[in-house]
């Protein structure tokens, strides 16, 4: 009954946002395929599905709760549609589609959407490519114009120069995400061994480097002509819009585009292995990793749900067999099992990161994995396993409905792959109907005694740690000649002048969440707002202190204590507590940051009382058991050792030390040395100092009003203790402005560059806020000067940004990018050039107008989800802001002039006050950096 009532509540909430208005007369060539309206029988997303004469599928979902729209165009083409020798085309093409079309200039797509106050991106996977924008509702027509122009009129704007720049950008992305990252090449090596030679999933989505080098602009033209027709696309729109007007716009902008070649679904060929394949690789890592994969089915196969549940039982968190047998006793730092599914194939994915303190042998870890599988066969499936999986499935579904983007993404995915936009009810039923017998059946069919691929990733020079000697060498399919057309397809003719950019509608009325304040009996201040879109509660507890409450020589103590708070209590074990929360569909997470510790609680409203009871137990009766402490400490130490291989981590930690020194908590984070010295008594002492009522403030976003929710927070009213004063911070160093510091990362494919200095603390309406406005055209947006220079013009990086970051008592200015190692010195020169020029010449009139439009209109997107609302509330609470501070910010944005912004640039962007840090291969980058004429120091 509870579940039924919950389903009814969600459906009612969604129905309240949806409209069942019938369009009396459809535009010519548009037909209504089906209409789905929420009824009180289950959880669903109301929609209407239409089809244009050219085959474009259009899915509309109305949600009037916020003044925004989310637009998604999904093309049913991913890397799986490529052929051997031409890998990476789908992903490369995703980049190319942002480079302008016949009526949209190069780099204009990002500029137009950002100036409209929106956000945008595109993603590619094995099976589809999608492009999406979230914008204020008055900008919808403009988005449709942009998307239609690149669907129908992309080829006339395609040039060799654009192709070369984006190929360099993709190579930079690969260097940053694959080649320069620990375990970065694991997935592509594993897929080669797992899938048959030439299988659509046997090559990486980002492509093999040699294939990218081999590609030319004609290949891109052919790929577009083959796959980017309207009949291979789904346009999904969700949010606040008028359906009749929207359909008219859709027909106007997309209706003229001719149908493309017909597209058939790819065959779902099962993956079979004749024996277990062992492969291995050495990498710049600290933790040996074992990965095991069993072939299973494909997305929405009748066995998928049971296999998902099997994965949860084996390795889905702290109640799983993998956690008990590998992590609990410290043999692995992490371990888990999942069952990821794609259109053509799924796999049972198992992994474990071995603990070097226990020897790090992957042979031993593989043995424990096999013992866990055997234990499952003996143990079987419990009633709790089934109930937990069903509750979690329903909770994930409900939380996923909190944003328009989440709903649109679900509709677009299901329509693209299964021809039915809303499948929520069917999915819930799929998981709800799984039986114990189903789980055991799929275990026997796909896992028990079946061959797998077993991959070992070990630190360089430590091949003795691999699980088993390699017995398989993957083979790549020979490049094949493309059979697709190579001639450029003629662009669609148009019935109107597409060069005219649509004007925007009247600005939507932006509603700031209506806030309430209250206090618990012990004086804890509570601030909240009501959000009735889903029957959920988001409760956040902030405790002043965090890392800054800790002496420098005990850095890491706040984080280690938070980890211990996530463990057992005096009454129940970690596993028992996790099980109790999972049965409720709730989560409780303790964390820590620079100046605060946090407690994050998510719950379905109906299960809040039981969730609060568990929170009370965890907060007031922590177990602080020695075994938990030793495991958490060891995991933290191994994690720190692992991070020493991460270039970004090396850059962040060394840059903080340059700015704040080694005697100030802001400059010193957790280290192997400090964490090694921590004791359980240290944790207990910090708990007493930090987790006190006097340090706490509460934020809550719920479908309950103040009178309903405050009594449910009563367990927190029992909390005692006065506020703990923050110790005096250590002295700050004198910055050696204009100095280049190098941190050696031998063999690095990229260099991480950071330039910056200490700056002003946070101020919502003062110099800090105005400095953020000043920086926006320099490095605060995609089409900022820095990013357009280093990414779009030079092809040096995947992305470059700059910005101010502020707290109550301090702040920083940082410009940052990961760049190709061979252009490290040239990239730094461009950073310096852009910052100097902006500091000396200031903002242009066009940039000032762009900044005003982008930031002011973007406010329409700020308060949609419960967590966005919670973030807004926390800013008011933390910085003691006036309730109308956003109105003051809006006035500043509208009235601030070039003279004031230029002065801010002049005062805050002096490079002589900034230090420059580069993390990269010293042997190759140092000569070029020294040639720039700045002092160069190497950090040991």
Instruction: For residues 535 and 398, give the distance between their C-alpha atoms in angstroms, rounded to a whole number.
Output: 8
Structural contact between residues 78 and 205, judged by C-beta atoms closer than 8 angstroms: yes
- What is the pLDDT, as a whole number, of residue 579? 93
Number of C-beta neighbours around residue 112 at 10 A: 22
Q: At 379, phi and psi to the nearest 5?
A: -70, -40
In three-state secondary structure terms, 530 is strand
Summarize the confidence of residues 383-402 as an average pLDDT: 86
In words, the CATH class of domain 27-36+43-254 is alpha beta
Residue 245 scores a pLDDT above 80 = yes
Name the β-bridge partners of 517. 527
Residues 6+ apart with CB under 8 A from 317: 323, 336, 578, 582
- Alpha helices (H) in 798-921, listed in sequence order: 824-841, 845-858, 866-879, 885-895, 898-908
Q: In the Cβ-directed half-sphere of 661, how many Cα atoms lie within 13 Å? A: 10
- Strand bridging mode 587-592 / 596-604: antiparallel
| Mean per-residue pLDDT, 720-725 | 95
Cα(15)–Cα(247) distance, integer angstroms = 21
d(CA 853, CA 181): 37
**From start to end of 260-367, where are the E strands?**
277-283, 289-295, 332-338, 347-354
Query: How does pLDDT run across 415-426, given as a tens digit for each residue?
Result: 999 999 999 999
**Burial tier of 474 (Cβ tally within 10 Å: 0-12, 13-18, 19+):** middle
Tell me the C-alpha distance between 592 and 581, whole Å: 21
Any bridge partners for residue 588, and if so which?
601
Give 26's DSSP letter: P
Reported as a pLDDT band with limits 50, 70 and 90, residue 5 is very low
CATH topology for 740-939 is Cytochrome Bc1 Complex; Chain A, domain 1 (3.30.830)
> 578 pLDDT exceeds 90?
yes
Ranges 3-12, 55-64, 625-634: which has the least confidence: 3-12
Q: How far is CA 391 from the centre of its chain?
A: 24
* CATH superfamily entry for domain 515-717: Metalloenzyme, LuxS/M16 peptidase-like (3.30.830.10)
Dihedral pair phi/psi, residue 704, rounded to 5°? -90, 150
Rounded CA-CA distance 352/446 in Å is 20
- Which of 474-478, 526-530, 578-582, 609-613 shows the lowest per-residue confidence on average (mean pLDDT)? 474-478
Percent of the chain whose pLDDT exceeds 70: 96
The 750-759 sheet, strands edge to edge? 797-806, 811-820, 750-759, 915-920, 740-744, 936-939
Q: Is the pLDDT of residue 8 over 50?
A: no
Q: Is 518 helix (H, G, I), strand (E, B) or coil?
A: strand
More confident residue, 317 or 468: 468
Quick check: 223 and 89 in contact, CB under 8 A?
yes
pLDDT given at position 165: 85
Alpha-carbon dihedral 281, 284, 287, 291, rounded to 10 degrees: -30
Judged by DSSP in three states, 749 sits in coil
Task: Output the CATH code of domain 277-401+415-465.
Answer: 3.30.830.10
What is the largest distance, in Å, between two alpha-carbon atoms of the chain? 77
CA gap 206, 82 in Å, rounded: 12
pLDDT of amino acid 484: 53
Judge whether 565 and 590 are in contact, CB under 8 Å: yes
What is residue 14's predicted lDDT score, i.e. its pLDDT? 54
Q: What is the token pair recorded at 100?
A: 């302008």
- Whether 515-717 shares its CATH topology with 740-939 is answered yes
pLDDT at 257 over 80: yes
pLDDT band at 663 (very low <50, low <70, confident <90, very high): very high
Is the model more confident about 783 or about 10? 783
Q: According to the model, what pLDDT value does residue 445 have?
A: 97
Give the SS3 label for residue 122.
Answer: strand
Spatial contact of 346 and 201, defined as CB atoms under 8 Å apart = no
Highest mean pLDDT among 103-107, 311-315, 855-859: 311-315
**pLDDT score recorded for residue 166:** 87
Contact 758, 810 (CB under 8 A): yes
Element spanning 48, H or E: strand 47-52
pLDDT more than 90, % of the chain: 78
Is the per-residue pLDDT at 712 higher than 90? yes
Q: Residue range 111-139: average pLDDT?
A: 94
On the question of pLDDT at 486 being above 80, the answer is: no
| Domains in the chain: boundaries | 27-36+43-254, 277-401+415-465, 515-717, 740-939
Radius of gyration, alpha carbons of the chain:
28
The side-by-side arrangement of strands in the sheet containing 536-544 is 515-519, 525-530, 696-702, 536-544, 596-604, 587-592
Instruction: Give the tens place of pLDDT for each residue, 492-505.
Output: 788 889 999 998 88
Q: What is the pLDDT of residues 74-93, one digit of tens each?
A: 999 999 999 999 999 899 88
Average pLDDT over residues 244-271: 94
Residue 143 has pLDDT above 50, yes or no: yes
Query: What was the pLDDT predicted at 540?
Result: 95
Provide the pLDDT for residue 16.
45
The H or E element spanning position 915 is: strand 915-920
Find which of 268-272, 508-512, 521-525 is predicted with most confidence, using mean pLDDT.
521-525
- pLDDT band at 466, cuts 50/70/90? very high
Instruction: Decide: helix, strand or coil at residue 342.
Output: coil
Q: What is the mean pLDDT of residues 328-347?
A: 95
Q: Residue 600's closest CA among 539, 544, 525?
A: 539
Question: Has residue 844 got a pLDDT over 60?
Answer: yes
- Give Cα 276 to chain centroid, integer Å: 34
Q: How high is the mean pLDDT of the chain?
A: 92
* CB-based contact 784:110 (threshold 8 Å): no
**Res. 242: pLDDT tops 70:** yes
Task: Note whether 74 and 234 are within 8 A (CB).
Answer: yes
pLDDT for the residue 3: 46
């Amino acid at each position: 009954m509870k579940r039924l009532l919950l389903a009814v509540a969600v459906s009612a909430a969604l129905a309240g946002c949806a409209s069942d208005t019938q369009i009396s007369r459809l535009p010519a060539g548009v037909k209504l395929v089906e209409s789905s309206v929420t009824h009180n029988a289950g959880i669903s997303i109301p929609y209407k599905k239409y089809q244009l004469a050219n085959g474009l599928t259009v899915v509309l979902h109305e949600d009037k709760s916020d003044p925004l729209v989310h637009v998604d165009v999904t093309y049913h083409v991913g890397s799986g549609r490529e052929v051997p020798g031409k890998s990476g085309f789908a992903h490369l093409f995703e980049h190319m589609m942002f480079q302008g079309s016949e009526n949209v200039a190069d780099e204009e797509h990002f500029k137009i959407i950002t100036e409209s106050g929106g956000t945008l991106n595109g993603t590619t996977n094995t099976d589809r490519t999608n492009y999406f924008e979230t914008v204020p509702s008055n900008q919808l027509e403009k988005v449709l114009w942009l998307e239609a122009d690149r669907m129908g009129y992309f080829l006339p704007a395609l040039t060799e120069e654009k192709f070369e720049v984006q190929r360099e950008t993709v190579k930079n992305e690969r260097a940053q995400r694959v080649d320069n990252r620990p375990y970065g090449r694991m997935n592509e090596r594993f897929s080669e061994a797992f899938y048959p030679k030439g299988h659509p999933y046997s090559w990486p989505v980002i492509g093999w480097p040699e294939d990218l080098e081999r590609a030319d602009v004609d290949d891109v033209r052919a790929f577009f002509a083959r796959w980017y027709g309207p009949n291979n696309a789904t346009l999904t729109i969700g949010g606040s819009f008028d359906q009749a007007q929207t359909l008219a716009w859709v027909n106007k902008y997309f209706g003229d585009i001719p149908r493309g070649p017909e597209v058939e679904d790819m065959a779902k060929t099962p993956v079979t292995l004749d024996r277990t394949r062992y492969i291995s690789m050495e990498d710049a890592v600290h933790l040996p990793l074992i990965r095991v994969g069993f072939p299973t089915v494909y997305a929405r196969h009748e066995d998928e749900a049971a296999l998902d549940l099997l994965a949860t039982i084996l390795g889905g968190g702290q109640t799983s067999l993998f956690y008990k047998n590998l992590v609990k006793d410290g043999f692995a730092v992490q371990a888990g099992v999942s069952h990821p599914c794609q259109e053509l194939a799924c796999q049972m994915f198992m992994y474990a990161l071995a603990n070097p303190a226990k020897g790090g042998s992957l042979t031993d870890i593989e043995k424990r994995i096999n013992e866990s599988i055997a234990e499952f066969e003996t143990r079987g499936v419990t009633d709790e396993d089934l109930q937990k999986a069903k509750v979690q499935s329903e909770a994930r579904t409900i939380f996923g409905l909190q944003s328009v983007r989440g709903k649109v993404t679900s509709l677009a995915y299901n329509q693209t792959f299964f021809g039915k936009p809303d499948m929520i009810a069917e999915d819930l039923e799929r998981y709800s109907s799984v039986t114990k017998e189903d789980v055991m059946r799929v275990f026997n069919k796909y896992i028990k005694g079946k061959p797998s691929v077993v991959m070992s990733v070990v630190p360089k020079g430590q091949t003795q740690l691999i699980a088993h000697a390699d017995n398989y060498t993957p083979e790549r399919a020979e490049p094949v000649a493309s059979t697709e057309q190579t001639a450029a397809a003629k662009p669609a003719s148009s019935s109107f002048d597409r060069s005219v950019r649509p004007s925007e509608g009247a600005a939507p009325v932006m509603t700031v969440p209506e806030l309430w304040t209250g206090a618990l009996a012990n004086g804890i201040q509570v601030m909240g707002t009501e959000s009735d879109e889903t029957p959920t509660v988001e409760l956040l507890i902030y405790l002043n202190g965090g890392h800054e409450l800790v002496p420098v020589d005990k850095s890491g103590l706040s984080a280690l204590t938070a980890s211990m708070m996530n463990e057992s209590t005096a009454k129940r074990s970690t596993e028992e507590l996790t099980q109790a929360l999972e049965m409720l569909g709730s989560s409780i997470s303790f964390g820590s940051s620079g100046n605060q510790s946090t407690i994050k609680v998510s719950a379905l409203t109906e299960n809040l009382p039981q969730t609060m009871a568990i929170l009370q137990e965890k907060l007031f009766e922590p177990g602080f058991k020695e075994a938990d402490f030793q495991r958490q400490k060891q995991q933290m130490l191994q994690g720190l050792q692992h991070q020493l291989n991460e270039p970004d981590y090396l850059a962040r930690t060394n840059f903080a030390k340059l700015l704040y020194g080694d005697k100030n908590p802001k400059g010193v984070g957790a280290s192997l040395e400090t964490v090694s010295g921590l004791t359980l008594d240290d944790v207990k002492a910090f708990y007493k100092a930090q987790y006190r009522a006097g340090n706490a403030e509460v934020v809550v976003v719920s479908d309950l009003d103040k009178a309903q929710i405050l009594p449910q927070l009563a367990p927190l009213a029992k909390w005692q203790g006065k506020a703990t004063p923050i110790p005096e911070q250590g002295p700050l160093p004198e910055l050696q402005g204009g100095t280049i510091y190098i941190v050696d990362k031998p063999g690095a494919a990229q260099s991480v560059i950071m330039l910056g200095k200490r700056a002003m603390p946070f101020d919502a309406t003062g110099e800090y806020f105005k400095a953020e406005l000043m920086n926006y055209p320099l490095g605060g947006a995609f089409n900022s000067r820095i990013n357009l220079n280093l990414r779009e013009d030079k092809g040096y990086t995947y992305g470059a940004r700059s910005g101010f970051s502020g707290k109550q008592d301090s702040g920083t200015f940082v410009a940052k990018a990961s760049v190709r190692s061979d252009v490290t010195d040239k990239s730094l020169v461009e950073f310096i050039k852009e910052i100097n020029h902006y500091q000396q010449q200031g903002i242009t009139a066009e940039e000032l107008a762009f900044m005003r439009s982008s930031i002011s209109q973007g406010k329409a997107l700020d308060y949609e989800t419960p967590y966005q609302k919670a973030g807004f509330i926390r800013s008011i609470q933390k910085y003691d802001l006036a309730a109308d501070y956003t109105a003051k910010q809006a006035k500043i944005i509208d009235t601030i002039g070039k003279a004031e912004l230029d002065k801010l640039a002049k005062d805050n962007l002096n490079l002589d006050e900034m230090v420059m840090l580069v993390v990269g291969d010293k042997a190759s980058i140092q000569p070029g950096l020294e040639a720039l004429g700045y002092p160069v120091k190497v950090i040991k």
